[in-house]
Amino acid sequence: QSVLTQPPSASGTPGQRVTISCSGSSSNIGSNTVNWYQQLPGTAPKLLIYSNNQRPSGVPDRFSGSKSGTSASLAISGLQSEDEADYYCAAWDDSLNGLVFGTGTKVTVL
């Protein structure tokens, strides 16, 4: 079950900035770091952002993450066609003593 809430979809034209929200609670986002994953069609998820706002080596700086209170956000600036994918947030939940994923957001490049 997903306890982190994301909008089902987001879209933009090439070059635009798109922001995806991830809403949680005090037991997950409020007390632990957030990671973001990108899943291209038919492939395994890929780590996009870790520890709220850190990019792994090789991830373009067009992708950025932030966290405030019990919510987090992923921003994609300079949207490109290859960014069309599903995006998931994730955080450890202290009450469940396990990881929780977001509901996922499908990004479409118009």
Partner 1 sequence: QVTLRESGPALVKPTQTLTLTCTFSGFSLSTSGMCVSWIRQPPGKALEWLARIDWDDDKYYSTSLKTRLTISKDTSKNQVVLTMTNMDPVDTATYYCARIPNVYDSSGYDYWGQGTLVTVSS
CB of 22 to partner 1, least distance (A): 12
| CB-based contacts of 82, cutoff 8 Å, min separation 6 | none
**77-107 per-residue burial string, b: 16 or more CB within 10 A, e: under 16:** eebeeebebbbbbbbbbeeeeeebbbbbbbb
Q: Nearest Cα to 53, choosing from 44, 45, 61, 42?
A: 61
Of 14-22, 23-31, 67-75, 93-101, the segment contacting partner 1 by CB under 8 A is 93-101
Of 9-17, 18-26, 76-84, 102-110, the segment contacting partner 1 by CB under 8 A is 102-110
Tell me the C-alpha distance between 64 and 53, whole Å: 6
Tell me the C-alpha distance between 102 and 17, whole Å: 21
Interaction between residue 40 and partner 1 (CB under 8 A): no
The single residue among 18, 27, 38, 88 that binds partner 1, judged by CB under 8 A, is 88
Interaction between residue 53 and partner 1 (CB under 8 A): no
Interaction between residue 63 and partner 1 (CB under 8 A): no
For binding to partner 1 (CB under 8 A), which residues are involved?
1-2, 32-33, 35, 37, 39, 44-47, 50-51, 56, 88, 90, 96-104
